[in-house]
């Protein structure tokens, strides 16, 4: 007599379990807590950066990240995306982003930089028939050394 209630009761319990609240500790087993603070040495920042823009038939962008400290430094990345480039026009509207439409792995990565060592990330923007003032923005997608550098340029 009570067997006709077992199947609907089991389904209701499964839905309640699947949609119920989750504890924060088990939300993502792969999350690693990282302290968000600037790491500096006595003479300045540990990691410095420059953005170089060269206008030819396309726009060449180069982000250089240098370990300015006297010892080895580790740079942590929360995913396979280590950097990004974007270009904004004079009104601040984004006209191009290197990472748009790309997929990146969801695994943690790290890079060790010896004292004075430089990492260089280079990409090209095949600029459409645009003219005027633009700003290139390069971002190091690091957890412990987040960097954003800007450089203005003109397309004739």
* Band of pLDDT at residue 140, cut at 50, 70 and 90: very high
pLDDT at 27 over 60: no
Whole-model pTM: value is 0.67
H helix or E strand, kind and range, residue 77: strand 73-77
Q: What is the mean pLDDT of residues 14-20?
A: 51
- Find residue 13's DSSP bridge partners: none
pLDDT tens-digit series, residues 113-123: 999 999 999 99
Residue 31 is predicted with a pLDDT of 26
Mean pLDDT of the residues in the chain: 78
Domain extent listing, the chain: 42-155
Query: What distance in Å separates the CA atoms of residue 123 and residue 46, rounded to the nearest whole number?
Result: 25
Contacts by residues 143-148 (CB-CB < 8 Å, ≥ 24 positions apart): 143/34, 143/36, 143/76, 143/77, 143/78, 144/34, 144/35, 144/39, 144/74, 144/75, 144/76, 145/39, 145/46, 145/47, 145/65, 145/73, 145/75, 147/47, 147/49, 147/65
Q: Is the pLDDT of residue 95 over 90?
A: yes
Tokens representing 20 are: 């119920």
Tell me which CATH homologous superfamily contains domain 42-155: Intracellular proteinase inhibitor BsuPI (2.60.40.2360)
């Amino acid at each position: 007599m009570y067997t006709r209630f077992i199947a609907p009761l089991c389904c209701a319990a499964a839905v309640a379990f699947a949609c119920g609240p989750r504890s924060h500790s088990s939300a993502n087993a792969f999350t690693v807590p990282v302290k968000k603070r600037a790491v500096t040495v006595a003479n300045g920042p540990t990691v410095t950066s420059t953005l170089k823009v060269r206008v030819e038939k396309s726009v060449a962008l180069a982000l250089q990240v240098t370990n300015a400290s006297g010892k080895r430094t580790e740079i942590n990345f929360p995913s396979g995306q280590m950097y990004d480039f974007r270009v904004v026009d004079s009104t601040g509207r984004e006209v191009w982003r290197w990472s748009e439409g790309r997929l990146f792995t969801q695994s943690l990565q790290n890079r060790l930089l010896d004292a004075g060592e430089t990492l260089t990330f280079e990409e090209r923007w095949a600029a459409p028939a645009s003219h005027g003032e633009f700003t290139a923005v390069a971002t190091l997608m690091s957890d412990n050394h987040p960097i954003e550098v800007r450089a203005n340029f003109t397309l004739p």
